[in-house]
Amino acid sequence: MRPPGASHSQKTCSQTQRKGAREPCGRKRSSARSRWGRKQTSSIRRDDATPGQKPQPEDMLADAAQGGARAVRQEALLGSLEVGKKADVIVLDTQRTHLVPAGRILSAWINNGQPSDIESVVVDGQFVMRDRKILTVDETSLIAEADKVGRRIWSQVETASPVTVPRLPRS
């Protein structure tokens, strides 16, 4: 129970600690409803009775990074951003219409993100994409070669058995 006249975010320190919150006393908790009616939360519940049944985006990222490192027995080299470890990093453009407003950008990107949100990619300390330009491949040549191969394959398909394109009757 909160003190009389206190808002939901003004609980006493003992009430916050009793609930098992991982934040220091005095920090304002964001749990008010936004103007769109969705509940915004700054803390993530990690005390599920059965862990893993209600994973949060942060859990999925940890599983992908740290779990992947454990799976290949490379925890000393991979799985977290630390000095001396190999790192693959993506830089996101978070100011896209489908990502704002976002109380938790990781959640917003996992649920609404698009490949075009990725601005830069660093693999093992080296940029492979910067400012949306791939640095390791000649994109123009690759696209031209893919188009050439596609046209050759379609030509062979049409020679073997002509493709009839259905058309709507015209009046």
Angle value at C-alpha 134, between 125 and 111, nearest 5 degrees: 80
What pLDDT score was predicted for residue 165? 79
Percent of the chain with pLDDT over 70: 71
Beta strands in 22-123 (DSSP E): 88-92, 118-123
Mean pLDDT of the residues in the chain: 77
What pLDDT score was predicted for residue 25? 42
What pLDDT score was predicted for residue 168? 87
Radius of gyration from C-alpha coordinates of the chain: 25
CA dist list (Å): 103 to 3, 81, 94, 100: 27, 23, 12, 9
What pLDDT score was predicted for residue 114? 93
**Mean pLDDT, range 2-26, rounded to an integer:** 42
- Read off the pTM: 0.55
What pLDDT score was predicted for residue 44? 54
Residue type (1 letter), 23? E
pLDDT tens profile 120-171: 999 988 999 999 999 999 999 999 999 999 999 999 988 888 778 788 888 7
**Mean pLDDT, range 56-60, rounded to an integer:** 86
Residue 6 has pLDDT above 50, yes or no: no
What pLDDT score was predicted for residue 13? 40
Residue 144 and residue 137 in contact, taking contact as beta carbons nearer than 8 Å: no
pLDDT tens profile 23-33: 444 433 344 44
Residue 41 has pLDDT above 50, yes or no: no
Two tokens, residue 23: 């934040």
